[in-house]
Amino acid sequence: MTKLEALIAWARLQGASLDHRIKVELSLLGGLGIIATQDIPEDSIVLRVPQSSTYDIQTLLEYTEELKKQNEDVSKVINGVLTLISSPTETTVIRGYIWSFSILQSMGVSMDLIKPYMDILLSTEIFDVEEDLELSDSFVQWQINQKKRVIAEHTDIVRAHPELAQHLSPKDAFRLHQAVKSRVLEIPHALEGDEKYQFTTRVTLVPMLDFANHARDNNAVFDVDKETKEVILRVTRDVSKSTEICICYSPSNDMGMFFRTYGFIPSVGEYEWVLPNFNEIVNCTKNTENEDYLRMAKWLRVTPKVTLHASKEDVKVDLTESRLPLLMIPGLTYYAGWRNEKADIEEDEQDIEELIVEEEENGVILSTETAYGVVYEDAYVSVPNILEQTWEDSENGIRELVKLTIPLLTRAAEASKSADTTTLAATAIQHDTQQMRNYFRVKHELLTHLLEHSTRDFIDMISHLQ
């Protein structure tokens, strides 16, 4: 019996009811999914899971109390893990319980009531990457930092309780972290004694329902049956045979949110692409040498990134928010000696020099409208009036700036794709890279659409640059 078959058999024993017209199998969206084996009419309920077979903080606490009656190690392990959670949230507390159960299972404690589900969590395909890789992709960088935080938390537990080290490896700790984070859902619960069905939500693991993949144009929803309290999966329109049944994890258009929360990005939404090797690429595009465009960008309130709005039909590019074309104005230079111009700063501003220094080292400089760190024809640049000051405020001037920006985006996209290929090759040595390949596939499709736009397309997408 496979792990999946064991899970389905276990779920049925726990009271779950699976419609005979569905099955769990490989999905075109990646991993496993719920597929219709026959035509299913609108409003059909295809899955029921008893509340007692779901895992939120309350039900996990109840399950733990039962385990404590069987083994004296249970309380010590669970308390030891939960008290060392660095940032307690509903999700991380649930993950703490799952870590504890994995440890107890390794110690030989009988975990029959949850073992098939634990086996699935431990075999979940995740987006994994080596912590010491030097990468240019901002999303993968975020994932590396996330992994470092999880490993650090695991290290704290092992340092405090050395006897647990052999029962939960850093690799399994991160896999379970990712598995829990990607599977939890917010399940509604009616408030007791409220006749108008006011409800709250609890972050919950729901075995079987968590095989349902995300789709923006979902054909199903999950809810709670008011009478039985069961979590149900109901199709919202007719579903034909062989079609995957999908729910909507979130109405958000932010692909970054999906990546950080669920470990993948959908093909539709908003993707914030951070341009790699920014100084090198801008210098190459503008035929300059060693110009500090990153610092110049902070002064001009330019962000070295582009937002791509992807729909089923098209990909639109937002240069307005990033103000990227402003960096292409000929003659702009970074003035590293601006800190020595105390008289100029004090004449214009009051007590903000330290704030400006801090902003230049961190994010965008917002405390002054005079860019003391950027000069044009030996004069400080006025951020609100930069186009007028540099004689680029005509439609033709803006068009020329956009034309100059396109080669920059082309170089950045090519550099990004090349770096991603290197990343995949380096990661494949240690990890199954299917999740990463899927991420880069969607990203590269977006970049390809970006490079297909004409100058006119970009002009139409810019409402203003000031």
Q: What is the pLDDT of residues 209-245, one digit of tens each?
A: 999 999 989 999 999 998 999 999 999 999 999 999 9
Residue type, 341: E
174 shares its domain with 220: no
Domain membership of residue 107 (yes or no) is yes
**Which of 262, 294, 327 corresponds to the end of one domain?**
262
Beta-carbon count within 10 A of 450 CB: 22
**Same domain assignment for residues 7 and 32:** yes
Same domain, residue pair 298 and 412: yes
What are the pLDDT tens digits along the chain (466 aa)?
A: 788 889 999 999 999 999 999 999 988 887 889 999 999 999 999 999 999 999 999 999 999 998 988 888 899 999 999 999 988 999 999 999 999 999 999 999 988 889 999 999 999 888 888 777 767 788 888 999 999 999 999 999 999 999 999 999 999 999 999 999 999 999 987 776 555 667 788 999 999 999 999 998 999 999 999 899 999 999 999 999 999 999 999 888 899 998 888 888 888 899 999 999 999 999 999 999 999 999 999 999 999 988 888 888 788 887 777 889 999 999 999 988 888 776 666 666 655 666 676 767 777 777 788 888 899 998 989 999 998 988 887 878 888 888 888 899 999 999 998 888 888 877 776 666 678 888 888 899 888 888 777 656 666 655 455 4
Taking a C-beta distance cutoff of 8 angstroms, is the pair 154, 166 a contact?
no
Tell me the pLDDT tens digit for each residue of 283-297.
999 999 999 999 999
Q: Is residue 189 part of a domain?
A: no
Expressed as residue numbers, the domain containing 37 is 3-52+206-262
For residues 93 and 179, membership in a common domain is answered with: yes
Do 80 and 142 have their domain in common? yes
- CA–CA distances in Å: residue 402 to residues 84, 333, 392, 428, 456: 52, 19, 11, 38, 9
Q: Are strands 199-204 and 185-190 parallel, antiparallel or unpaired?
A: antiparallel
**Is residue 48 within 8 Å of residue 19, measured between CB atoms?**
no
What residue has token string 């647990």? 164
Considering only CA atoms, which of 189, 233, 187, 240 is closest in space to residue 212? 233
pTM: 0.85
Instruction: Determine, yes or no, domain membership for 426.
Output: yes
Q: Are 178 and 139 part of one and the same domain?
A: yes
Residue 210 lies in a domain: yes
- What CATH code is carried by the domain that includes residue 18? 2.170.270.10
Domain check: are 411 and 451 in the same one? Answer: yes
- Chain mean position to CA 358: 28
- Domain check: are 45 and 171 in the same one? no
The position carrying tokens 């005979």 is: 20
| 408 backbone φψ class: left, alpha, beta (φ>0; ψ -120 to 50) | alpha
Burial level of 347, CB count in 10 A (0-12/13-18/19+)? exposed
> Do residues 149 and 296 share a domain?
no
Domain for residue 451, yes or no? yes
If asked whether residues 46 and 65 sit together in one domain, one would say: no
Q: Are residues 64 and 149 both part of a single domain?
A: yes
Which residues does residue 224 pair with via DSSP β-bridges, in sequence order? 231
> What is the spatial distance between Cα 16 and Cα 51, in angstroms, rounded to a whole number?
10
The alpha-helical segments, DSSP class H, found in 20-169 are 57-68, 73-82, 90-106, 115-122, 138-160
Number of domains in the chain: 3
Give the span between the Cα atoms of 174 and 159, in whole angstroms. Answer: 17
